[in-house]
Structure 1
Amino acid sequence: MKVLLALLALVAAASAQTEPWCRCAAFITHDHSEVMVFEAPEVTIDSCVDDAKQCRTSCARELNTLSDNGNLWLMQDSGITIGQDICTYLSDRFVFFVHTKTVYGYFEVCGGAWEYSGVASQQKLCCNGGKHEHCVTE
């Protein structure tokens, strides 16, 4: 029993010594859920306790840079729009239809709760059978 407790303490101590990190991602909101539609590379921060603002600022900058300030119709070097990338990502997960959803940027500090970064798409996202389309509202 003492060996097991010592082993658990060693694992806890090792996991507590990890580098601070920050995740950045984009989500769409449904009535009862948030769905991640894009995740940017992790951002290194100085502290898990004190650097939520650093994480938020870094994520907002990264998401705005990648999307030209939330432009879903931005044509990437690959020849595919940001919106089509998102629609493809969703269709790969069996979500083929999305109608008039804003894409929001969020950040997460060291495994904590996701928080809104202040970034939102300029246009609404509409996917029809996995294809990015202009949203038509009636």
Structure 2
Amino acid sequence: MMKEIAVLLFVALFALTRAQDPQEPWCNCAAFVSYEHSEIKVYQGPVINLNHCDHTDQCKVACVAELESLTNNGDLFYEVDGQTVGQYICTSLADNMFFVMNNKYVYGYFEVCGGAWQYTGIKAQQKLCCTNGIHKHCTE
């Protein structure tokens, strides 16, 4: 009986703290490389504040604008601060112990308030190829 009361008390306390600390609506933008049974996140954008978690279109528009701006419409060879977009991705992959990436397109996605990832319609113009953290042209 005491265990049941303790569990109910814990659940009630958890619900009360969640009700007192409502999460602000947010939008998350990222880029992924797709494999047959998995996805690898290769870019994480900054969180974008939303007015409401139902504002899916607002999130998508903001993510499309961010991804297009950062990559010059999906160009992996577009230079940002002296490095290509692809080099930034390859460096990030290598920093996370992922040293080889061959012939993979990068796709833009967004999520709203922790929901399912949704495709933005953004796809890299070129395939991504990295060897030991170095971005290179793909030779299929």
* Equivalent residue letter for 1:7: L
2:23 matched to 1:21?
A: no
- 1:67 alignment partner in structure 2: 71
| Secondary structure in 1 matching 2:79 | coil
- How many residues are treated as equivalent by the alignment? 134
2:62 matched to 1:31?
A: no
2:132 matched to 1:136?
A: no
2:123 matched to 1:123?
A: no
Structure 1 runs not aligned, ≥5 long = none
| Secondary structure in 2 matching 1:27 | strand
- Which TM-score applies when normalising by structure 1? 0.91
- Partners of 1:5 and 1:133 in 2: CA distance: 53
- Which TM-score applies when normalising by structure 2? 0.90
* Equivalent residue letter for 1:10: L
Report the CA distance between 1:14 and its aligned residue. 3.0
Root mean square deviation, CA, Å: 1.3
Report the CA distance between 1:124 and its aligned residue. 0.5
| Secondary structure in 1 matching 2:86 | helix
Deviations 1:50-104 (A, max 9, x none): 2111101110111100110011001112x11110010011111111111110000
| Secondary structure in 1 matching 2:125 | coil
- 2:56 alignment partner in structure 1: 52
Report percent identity of matched pairs. Answer: 49
Structure 2 runs not aligned, ≥5 long = none
- 1:43 alignment partner in structure 2: 48
2:11 matched to 1:8?
A: no
- Partners of 1:132 and 1:104 in 2: CA distance: 17
- Partners of 1:89 and 1:30 in 2: CA distance: 18
- Partners of 1:114 and 1:4 in 2: CA distance: 31
Report the CA distance between 1:3 and its aligned residue. 4.6
5 Å-filtered alignment, 1:62-101, equals: 62-77=66-81, 79-101=82-104
Which structure would you say has the larger Rg?
Answer: 2
- Partners of 2:94 and 2:48 in 1: CA distance: 27
